[in-house]
Amino acid sequence: MIPIEQRLTNSWAASIRNAIREIREVNLKENKTYYYINLNEWENLIEEEVMEDAIADASEEVMNGKFTRSQLSAMLDKNQIIATAINLLALTYTYSPKELPAIMDDYLSQLAGGENWINREK
């Protein structure tokens, strides 16, 4: 399946960047060497605890709330969403907070609609 709207907006990109930065901050233990959640643990956490809440929130935004949570859920490729989320989370294990914004912009620009977003085309 392909993403529903085929676009990335400034507000979506900002939300994603902010969430990834916050996750990096709270996931890193005080010793700044170890993590509370290891990279290989995210998939189950996303599948079991995060996915349906995220879809419910997205149903309010996608196409101006045209679809219910269950309708939107049926249209999505959840495996692809999880893979994208894990790829974004993986950046937090590799890059510093200073490097993350530019790296994330590069990653986001490769998503559906990302090229238009990075070039600020409407």
pLDDT digits (tens, 9 = 90+) for 48-69: 999 999 999 989 988 889 999 9
Retrieve residue 17's tokens: 């960047």
Cβ(7)–Cβ(117) below 8 Å: yes
Predicted TM-score (pTM) above 0.75: yes
Where do the DSSP E strands lie in the chain? none
Grouping H, G, I as helix, E, B as strand and the rest as coil, residue 119 is coil
State which residues of the chain have pLDDT below 70. 1-3, 122
Angle at 99 between CA 96 and CA 105, to 5 degrees: 130
Alpha carbon distance 69, 58 (integer Å): 8
